[in-house]
């Protein structure tokens, strides 16, 4: 029986234009696997669509003076156009605003409620009297209490990175209308995740191993379990959304995180009608889900919990839960972050207008696919990948093989018998086939970037054989061998055209056109199927891009970043902060005696630090730069008299000192191994300083030496130094 493969990409939220990071983490990665699945002749559905409900849509619609539906219609069309240009092969790109989604969501809710997994409770939320609506934390803005940035939002400060709550902001105001919010109590419905945790844990333990989930998916999910799942609200005080079919909740809608994942089911129904149950309830289908790391808990915990809760037996759910969970880290842009709110980076419509073919973007994005850590998209990187790999390796092999066949063999291949090939030809064919088998296996394991690298390795093998066979010589010295070699090489080009289709679909079509052959699937790999065959005319596949063009592109798309920088600098104009003297700061040596990851922030560690007189908790953004084991028992320098700060529900009572490179790619904690725990290096420190005051000090590294206010930072007569970071700031 053929395999049934159901593939989903995290539904994009249609309130803005998708950027390159959105593309690679979700729709493009899923598209590569979906194309591979079809190539293997597996029964495949690739499902995606627009996530249209929620606070962000309703708020942006108000700001734009349109209805939420009109806003969604506009951005749905924009998203669809961009995905079409990128050759994303959805079987359907549906919508969560359609009636069938409402019906399926409400029906699933009724099952969850009937099974006893819905609770009611009261919460406090910011409320705008002027706009008569409750607001999400991120729609409250005000002054950050730590760095005095005047445009911090109620969930985080974009200037200093501190995590916040709306109540912590100084002079908070509603982003939508500028009014001062009230904090009101309101009733909501909750999904009993705490009750479902035992079922979820047992399932995750089994399924994450069987389905080979990515490591970040497993790590984040287990962190939630370790912290202990808590009931989670599934209702919101909004008008735009799915109405809740329960008395007393007529003015509320389902929280978007609850209804959006159900969109995978309803969009499948939009495509295949009642047969959607074969995919979502038929046990032979395997569900592969692709997303960025910010979506992990919704797909590893909350959506599976909803489906379990809607089932009669939580140990044997009525629905297909995710088989393989595939999660990427973040793709950044030119040493900064893509940001919809700040309009930073290359967005989908920018790519369309750039003049660079979509296949080049697809290759570059998959090359830099952030599988284990955050990666960077840079224009220089695109140039190197295009010129040095797509052109110098792959494009060169295809073009030299086909143009040579055009010129010296009247565009024709010959008949071959493998057993009559000479030793070197058989060795080449065997190696080509064995490396192709590795390529297929990597794709089966959803190791997409590794598969792309393997593809380029196989192309290099073809180039190498062309060079070693020297058909330009053998065509006169040994015409029969030359004809056999060219036939082998043309078939190698055919195989590369098949293998590149999941990654470079337009290029694959073009190569088959130049081969004058019908497009073939993976079942034809390794077969010498183009014998006694007349190929078409060879053409160049890719166009080289020069330094001047790259610089022009960088400037063209840096306008948004520059505009953001100037705007931020203007907003940062504030009351003068009296600069600190070094003696105002209480530096103390501490030892990290315990460490764990923050349960609600994937980039933060929570460190218990012994500073001699007491043990304090410090939160640091070192996840991704250090492992917990590397930091455990490390001696560090602590700023002890820094005002305590609350980050995502956890308090930080100080700050450790760490240097970073200018591009923020490398971070090094300053090493205090030579000093005793509890040693203090302060003459007359202030009782308490805030982060804004601390930032008036200039702490930096120059040629591995640490400086404080342009003077050598001396402790015990010895200047502090770094081993890894040569130059950069210290925070």
Q: Quick one: tokens of 552?
A: 């022009």
Give the DSSP H or E segment for 120. strand 118-128
Residue 338's nearest CA partner among 370, 300, 296 is 370
Residue 725's nearest CA partner among 637, 657, 652, 623 is 657
Highest mean pLDDT among 415-419, 575-579, 659-663: 415-419
Sheet holding 635-639, edge to edge: 615-620, 605-610, 587-597, 635-639, 655-656
Q: Quick one: tokens of 611?
A: 């500073």
Torsion of CA 234, 237, 241, 242, to 10 degrees: 50
Residue 329 near residue 293 (C-beta atoms within 8 A): yes
Strands (E), 202-250: 232-233, 235-236
- Cα 4 to Cα 243: distance, rounded to the nearest angstrom: 34
Residue 589's nearest CA partner among 607, 605, 617, 610 is 610
Three-state DSSP at 123 gives: strand
95 has pLDDT over 60: yes
Q: What is the mean pLDDT of residues 133-139?
A: 84
Residue 361 near residue 20 (C-beta atoms within 8 A): yes
Residue 532 near residue 413 (C-beta atoms within 8 A): yes
Q: What is the mean pLDDT of residues 627-635?
A: 91
pTM of the model: 0.76
Banded model confidence at residue 207, pLDDT cuts 50, 70, 90: very high
Condensed to tens digits (0 to 9), the pLDDT of residues 666-703 reads 889 999 998 889 888 776 888 898 887 888 888 999 98
Three-state DSSP at 127 gives: strand
Q: What is the pLDDT of residue 161?
A: 66
Residue 706's nearest CA partner among 696, 691, 716, 718 is 718
- Residue 477 contacts by C-beta under 8 Å, 6 or more apart in sequence? none
Q: What is the mean pLDDT of residues 126-141?
A: 88
Give DSSP secondary structure letters for 685-697.
--S-B-HHHHTTS
Residue 452 near residue 366 (C-beta atoms within 8 A): yes
Strand partners, 542: none
Residue 267's nearest CA partner among 91, 84, 106 is 91
Condensed to tens digits (0 to 9), the pLDDT of residues 580-623 reads 888 889 989 999 999 998 887 767 889 999 999 899 999 998 88
Residue with tokens 């159901």: 6
- Residue 277 contacts by C-beta under 8 Å, 6 or more apart in sequence? none
- Cα 381 to Cα 384: distance, rounded to the nearest angstrom: 5
- Cα 723 to Cα 704: distance, rounded to the nearest angstrom: 7
**Helices within 470-525 (DSSP H only):** 471-477, 479-500, 505-515
> What's the sign of the alpha-carbon dihedral 67, 71, 72, 73?
positive
Residue with tokens 């040579």: 404
Residue 433 near residue 552 (C-beta atoms within 8 A): no
Query: Phi/psi at 174 (nearest 5 deg)?
Result: -75, 130
495 has pLDDT over 70: yes
- Cα 92 to Cα 126: distance, rounded to the nearest angstrom: 38
Residue 605 near residue 597 (C-beta atoms within 8 A): yes
Say which DSSP state 251 is in. Answer: T
Residue 80 near residue 160 (C-beta atoms within 8 A): no
Residue 222's nearest CA partner among 135, 153, 300, 149 is 300
Q: Quick one: tokens of 526?
A: 């390794």
Task: Provide the pairing of β-strand 667-669 with 699-702.
Answer: unpaired
Q: What is the mean pLDDT of residues 184-211?
A: 96
Condensed to tens digits (0 to 9), the pLDDT of residues 537-584 reads 999 999 999 999 999 888 777 644 444 444 444 444 444 457 888 888
Helices 396-408 & 505-515 angle (0-180, nearest 10) = 10
Residue 25 near residue 41 (C-beta atoms within 8 A): no
Q: What is the mean pLDDT of residues 426-437?
A: 98
Query: Phi/psi at 721 (nearest 5 deg)?
Result: -145, 170
Banded model confidence at residue 489, pLDDT cuts 50, 70, 90: very high
Q: Quick one: tokens of 158?
A: 């974009």
Question: Which residue pairs from 380-387 have beta carbons closer than 8 angstroms and sit at least 24 positions apart in sequence?
Answer: 380/550, 382/356, 382/545, 382/550, 383/545, 383/547, 383/550, 385/360, 386/360, 386/542, 386/544, 386/545, 387/544, 387/545
Condensed to tens digits (0 to 9), the pLDDT of residues 441-487 reads 999 999 999 999 999 999 999 999 999 999 999 999 999 999 999 99
Query: Phi/psi at 689 (nearest 5 deg)?
Result: -125, 155
Strands (E), 380-517: none
- Residue 246 contacts by C-beta under 8 Å, 6 or more apart in sequence? 113, 189
- Cα 658 to Cα 666: distance, rounded to the nearest angstrom: 10
- Whole-number average pLDDT of the chain: 91
List the single range of 165-169, 473-477, 533-537 with lowest mean pLDDT: 165-169
Within a 10 A sphere around the Cβ of 317, how many other Cβ atoms? 18
Q: What is the pLDDT of residue 563?
A: 46
Residue 385 near residue 363 (C-beta atoms within 8 A): yes
- Residue 326 contacts by C-beta under 8 Å, 6 or more apart in sequence? 29, 30, 33, 213, 214, 217, 288, 289, 290, 291, 446
Q: Quick one: tokens of 187?
A: 């009733």
**Helices within 27-151 (DSSP H only):** 29-39, 55-64, 68-85, 99-114
Banded model confidence at residue 423, pLDDT cuts 50, 70, 90: very high
> What's the sign of the alpha-carbon dihedral 611, 616, 621, 627?
positive
- Cα 624 to Cα 330: distance, rounded to the nearest angstrom: 11
Q: What is the pLDDT of residue 665?
A: 67
Strands (E), 231-308: 232-233, 235-236, 253-254, 285-292
- Residue 507 contacts by C-beta under 8 Å, 6 or more apart in sequence? 359, 497, 500, 541
- Cα 299 to Cα 710: distance, rounded to the nearest angstrom: 50
């Amino acid at each position: 029986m053929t395999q049934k493969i159901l593939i989903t990409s995290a539904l994009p939220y249609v309130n803005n234009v998708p950027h390159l990071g959105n593309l690679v983490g979700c729709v493009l990665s899923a598209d590569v696997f979906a194309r591979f699945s079809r190539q293997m002749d597996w029964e495949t559905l690739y499902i995606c669509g627009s996530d249209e409900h929620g606070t962000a849509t309703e708020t942006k619609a108000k700001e734009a003076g349109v209805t939420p539906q009109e806003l969604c219609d506009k951005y749905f069309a924009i998203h669809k156009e961009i995905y079409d240009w990128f050759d994303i092969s959805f079987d359907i790109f549906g919508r969560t605003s359609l009636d069938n989604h409402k019906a399926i969501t409400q029906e699933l809710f009724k099952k969850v409620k009937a099974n006893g997994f819905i609770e009611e409770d009261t919460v406090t939320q910011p409320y705008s009297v002027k706009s008569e609506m409750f607001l999400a934390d991120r729609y409250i803005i005000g002054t950050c209490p730590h760095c005095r940035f005047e445009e911090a939002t109620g969930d985080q400060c974009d200037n200093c990175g501190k995590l916040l709550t709306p109540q912590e902001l100084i002079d908070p105001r509603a982003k939508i209308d500028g009014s001062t919010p009230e904090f009101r109590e309101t009733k909501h419905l909750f999904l009993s995740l705490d009750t479902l945790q035992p079922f979820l844990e047992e399932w995750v333990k089994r399924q994450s191993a069987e389905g080979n989930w990515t490591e970040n998916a497993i790590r984040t999910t287990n962190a939630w379990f370790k912290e202990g799942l808590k009931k989670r609200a599934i209702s919101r005080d909004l008008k735009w959304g799915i109405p809740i079919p329960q008395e007393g909740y007529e003015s509320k809608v389902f929280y978007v995180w609850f209804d959006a994942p159900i969109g995978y089911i309803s969009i499948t129904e939009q495509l295949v009608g009642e047969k959607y149950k074969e995919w979502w309830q038929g046990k032979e289908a395997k569900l592969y889900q692709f997303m960025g790391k910010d979506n992990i808990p919704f797909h590893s915990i909350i959506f599976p919990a909803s489906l379990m809760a809607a089932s009669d037996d939580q140990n044997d759910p009525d629905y297909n839960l995710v088989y393989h969970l595939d999660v990427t880290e973040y793709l950044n842009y030119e040493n900064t972050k893509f940001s919809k709110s700040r309009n930073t980076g290359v967005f989908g419509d920018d790519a369309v207008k750039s003049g660079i073919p979509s296949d080049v973007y697809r290759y570059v994005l998959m090359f830099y696919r952030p599988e284990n850590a955050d990666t960077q998209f840079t224009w220089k990187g695109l140039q190197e990948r295009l010129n040095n790999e797509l052109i110098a390796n792959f494009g060169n092999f295809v073009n030299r093989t086909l143009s040579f066949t055009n010129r010296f063999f009247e565009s024709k291949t010959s008949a071959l018998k493998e057993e009559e090939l000479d030793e070197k030809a058989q060795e080449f064919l065997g190696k080509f086939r064995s490396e192709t088998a590795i390529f297929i296996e990597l794709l089966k394991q959803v190791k997409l970037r590794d598969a792309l690298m393997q593809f380029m390795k196989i192309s290099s093998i073809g180039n190498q054989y062309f060079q070693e066979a020297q058909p330009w010589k053998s065509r006169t010295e040994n015409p029969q061998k030359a004809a056999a070699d060219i036939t082998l090489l043309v078939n190698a080009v055919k195989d590369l055209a098949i293998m590149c289709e999941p990654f470079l679909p337009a290029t694959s079509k073009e190569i088959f056109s130049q081969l004058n052959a019908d497009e073939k699937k993976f079942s034809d790999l390794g077969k010498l199927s183009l014998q006694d065959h007349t190929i078409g005319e060879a053409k160049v596949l890719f166009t080289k891009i020069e330094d001047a063009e790259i610089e022009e592109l960088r400037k063209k798309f840096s306008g948004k970043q520059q505009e953001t920088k100037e705007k931020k600098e203007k907003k940062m104009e504030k009351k003068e902060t009296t600069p600190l003297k070094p003696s105002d700061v209480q530096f103390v040596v501490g030892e990290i005696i315990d460490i764990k990851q923050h349960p609600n922030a994937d980039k933060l560690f929570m460190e218990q630090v012994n500073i001699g007189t007491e043990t304090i908790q410090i939160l640091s953004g070192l996840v991704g730069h250090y492992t917990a084991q590397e930091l455990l028992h490390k001696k560090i320098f602590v700023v002890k008299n820094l005002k305590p700060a609350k980050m995502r529900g956890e308090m930080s009572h100080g700050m450790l000192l760490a240097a970073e490179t200018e591009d923020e790619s490398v971070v090094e904690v300053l090493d205090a191994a030579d000093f005793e725990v509890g040693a203090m290096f302060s003459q007359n420190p202030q009782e308490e300083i805030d982060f804004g005051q601390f930032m008036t000090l200039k702490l930096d590294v120059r040629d591995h030496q640490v400086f404080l206010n342009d003077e050598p930072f001396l402790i015990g007569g010895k200047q502090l130094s770094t081993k890894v970071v040569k130059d950069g700031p210290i925070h």
